[in-house]
Amino acid sequence: MLEEYLEDLETRIDEGTETRLFDEWLDFTEGRFEGDLFSPARPQPSPPGVEWPKVLVNEALNNFDMMALQQFRGCSEALANGDGQLLCVRSNYGTSILPSLFGAELFVMDDEVDTLPTSWPLGGINRIKQVIDAGAPDMDQALGGKVLEMGERFAAIMKRYPRIGKHVHLYHPDLQGPMDICEVLWGSGLFVDIVDRPDLVTALLELITETYIRFLRRWLEIAPFSDGSEAHWGLLHKGHIMLRDDSAMNFSPAMFDEFIRPYDQRLLDAFGGGAIHFCGRGDHYIEKMSRMPRMHAIAMSQPDYNDMEVIYRNTADRGIKLIGLERAAAEAAVAKGRDLHGNVHCR
């Protein structure tokens, strides 16, 4: 069944169109875009020749072929819509990939919800200490093994289909950021224990960061990074890694400096720089984040939760790209005469 859809996608990929689109993204990423807002598009839609079925998240989690079909369906939709997103797939197992390596139990959503699973906390300080004492876990257990096997399957598909192999980007799985993983493993007690037990929090963050590096290096044996920039969520950013700092909105700037920035920086340094995503409010720490070496782009959501002038001063004004920004927020800035220096992308 999968072959029928892969053949459809292969025949619809226009090499000239995809090459031009990638070059437009690369110009933006490298600071060569001269307009107000970067918002590329394919010149015309390319509708599918077959009807692609919708694959539920839980179906994809439990079947490698369904995972491939779900991910390549996203590429088909990008072509059908004629939008400006790069064609991308990943091993889409959600935010619990690294937590599962440390023994966190998955909380799988009902089919009706159709969203990725999360994890239960480990269950108390003694359990946290046991995880720290055990050291770096086996990379092939739990969701880790599924992620790596699915990556190998993607790589095999891309060898069989030359246009897919050339123009569809296999991007790294959702490994979150060290503090996000720490919060998932620890539970809500973290927000008291980070004050009462800072050394224990630091020990867990050290272990998480070490594990993160080891796991991503395993992934790179399957899907090596490209030269200088990476696609993620259909967006292109300079550098190679996309970190997530969703938990940062709950901490003060001083705590960001102590418990988040050093570990993010270690990962940026290890993998040639990259980008950071955050949900919610980030204007209270964006100045500190923007000064991190080799942090080239921000992918944020909920601009209405933020003082966007503070965000722009610490991103667009400093040559740091804002990618995937909501169009309404970007256009509002331009309408007010705000110079974004060609550093803002909106869908």
Q: Is the dihedral of CA 326, 331, 337, 340 positive or negative?
A: positive
% of the chain exceeding 70 in pLDDT: 100
pLDDT at residue number 224: 96
pTM of the predicted structure, to 2 decimals: 0.97
282, 249 contact by CB (below 8 A): yes
Residue ranges of domains in the chain? 86-152+167-346
**Mind listing the pLDDT tens digit for each residue in 315-339?**
999 999 999 999 999 999 999 999 9
Place of tokens 């331009």: 334
pLDDT at residue number 1: 82
Q: How far apart are CA 178 and CA 206, in angstroms?
A: 9
Does residue 347 surpass a pLDDT of 90? Answer: no
159, 165 contact by CB (below 8 A): yes
93, 61 contact by CB (below 8 A): yes
pLDDT at residue number 227: 87
pLDDT band at 111, cuts 50/70/90? Answer: very high
Query: Residues 300-309: what's their mean pLDDT?
Result: 97
Amino acid letter, residue 196: D
Instruction: Report the candidate in 279, 346, 281, 289 with the shortest Cα–Cα distance to residue 313.
Output: 289
**Mind listing the pLDDT tens digit for each residue in 235-273?**
999 999 999 999 999 999 999 999 999 999 999 999 999
Residues 6+ apart with CB under 8 A from 186: 121, 122, 128, 193, 201, 204
Q: Residue 297: exposed, middle, or buried by beta-carbon count in 10 A (0-12, 13-18, 19+)?
A: buried
Query: Residues 57-62: what's their mean pLDDT?
Result: 98
User: What's the token pair of residue 50?
Assistant: 């077959």
pLDDT band at 127, cuts 50/70/90? Answer: very high
Helix (H, G, I), strand (E, B) or coil at 298: strand
CATH number of this structure's domain 86-152+167-346, picked from the four choices 3.40.50.10540, 3.40.50.300, 3.20.20.210, 3.30.200.20: 3.20.20.210
Sort residue 251 into left (φ over 0), alpha (ψ -120 to 50) or beta: beta
Instruction: Report the candidate in 205, 219, 209, 208 with the shortest Cα–Cα distance to residue 173.
Output: 219
Q: Residue 326: exposed, middle, or buried by beta-carbon count in 10 A (0-12, 13-18, 19+)?
A: middle
**Mind listing the pLDDT tens digit for each residue in 154-212?**
999 999 999 999 999 999 999 999 999 999 999 999 999 999 999 999 999 999 999 99
pLDDT at residue number 214: 98
pLDDT at residue number 28: 98
pLDDT at residue number 164: 98
Does residue 40 surpass a pLDDT of 90? Answer: yes
**Mind listing the pLDDT tens digit for each residue in 214-227?**
999 999 999 999 88
Query: Residues 28-53: what's their mean pLDDT?
Result: 97
Query: Residues 39-52: what's their mean pLDDT?
Result: 98
Q: How far apart are CA 262 and CA 18, in angstroms?
A: 37
Q: How far apart are CA 10 and CA 75, in angstroms?
A: 10
What does the mean pLDDT of the chain come to? 97
Q: Provide the β-strand partners of residue 243.
A: 276
